[in-house]
């Protein structure tokens, strides 16, 4: 590994540890928003596109049933209320009460794939909850380096090496792909670090930012 990439890797590890502490408050607020948008979550059948069973084991809410659809097969156990399905989230078809998609959109680079994800979400349920890193944030969400996520791919690879790429979304893209949803910014140190897109039931609209 080249020296610049070793320095980036060391910086990323330290920055990730710092972000974990700083973002604890943001995660707590996020679950409050989730509960506000879906007060009947304990009665809902949830499909989680691209998520993990571990996410739900540690969640402060427990839906009536959760189906995690994730191609890599990272099952962390199952229960009567939680199952894992090894499948491509972009090809999944079915119905549920609520679609949850936390962090999948920003792993998709191609506009066609991002549009396909939006189509799947809309086809599965009227209600949904998505979260994605914010392109407007000055730091790259993967390495915490300034503006690295805004650079062309070849420059990012030269600096960041083989670190998985993240493709954050702009608010305008989310408003376009998910019309009628509430788009809220999660702020860390005063800056929007991620976007939350929530579509609650028709008669319950949580507070707008």
pLDDT at 192: 83
| CA gap 128, 151 in Å, rounded | 31
pLDDT at 19: 55
Mean pLDDT to the nearest integer, 163-171: 82
pLDDT at 202: 57
pLDDT above 50 for 102: yes
| CA gap 58, 65 in Å, rounded | 15
Residue 169 contacts by C-beta under 8 Å, 6 or more apart in sequence? 105, 106, 114, 132, 133, 134, 135, 195
pLDDT above 60 for 148: no
Number of Cβ atoms within 10 Å of the Cβ of 205: 15
pLDDT above 60 for 124: yes
99-to-42, 147, 185, 186 alpha-carbon distances in Å: 14, 31, 19, 20
pLDDT at 188: 74
Mean pLDDT to the nearest integer, 79-87: 92
Task: Tell me the per-residue pLDDT of 65-78, one tens digit each, with 9 for 90 and over.
Answer: 999 999 875 655 67
Q: Could you tell me the domains of the chain?
A: 3-199 (3.40.50.150)
Residue 91 contacts by C-beta under 8 Å, 6 or more apart in sequence? 120
pLDDT above 50 for 209: no
SS3 category, 192? strand
Name the strand (E) or helix (H) holding 12.
helix 3-22
**How many degrees, rounded to 5, is the angle at CA 91 between CA 61 and CA 84?**
40
- 42 or 136: which carries more pLDDT confidence? 42
């Amino acid at each position: 590994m080249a020296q610049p990439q070793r320095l980036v890797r060391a910086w990323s590890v330290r920055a990730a540890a710092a972000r974990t502490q700083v973002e604890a408050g943001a995660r707590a607020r996020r679950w409050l928003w989730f509960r506000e948008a879906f007060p009947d979550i304990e009665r809902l059948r949830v499909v989680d596109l691209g998520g993990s069973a571990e996410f739900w084991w540690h969640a402060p809410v427990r839906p009536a049933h959760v189906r995690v659809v994730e191609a890599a097969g990272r099952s962390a156990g199952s229960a009567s209320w939680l199952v894992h399905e090894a499948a491509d989230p972009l090809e999944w078809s079915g119905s549920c009460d609520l679609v949850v998609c936390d962090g999948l959109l920003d792993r998709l680079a191609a506009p066609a794939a991002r549009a396909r994800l939006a189509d799947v979400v809309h086809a599965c349920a009227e209600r949904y909850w998505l979260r994605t890193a914010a392109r407007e944030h000055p730091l790259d969400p993967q390495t915490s380096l300034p503006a690295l996520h805004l650079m062309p791919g070849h420059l990012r690879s030269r600096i960041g090496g083989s670190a998985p790429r993240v493709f954050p979304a702009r608010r305008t893209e989310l408003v376009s792909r998910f019309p009628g949803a509430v788009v809220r910014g999660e702020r860390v140190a005063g800056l929007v670090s991620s976007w939350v897109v929530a579509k609650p039931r028709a008669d319950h609209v949580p507070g707008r930012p």
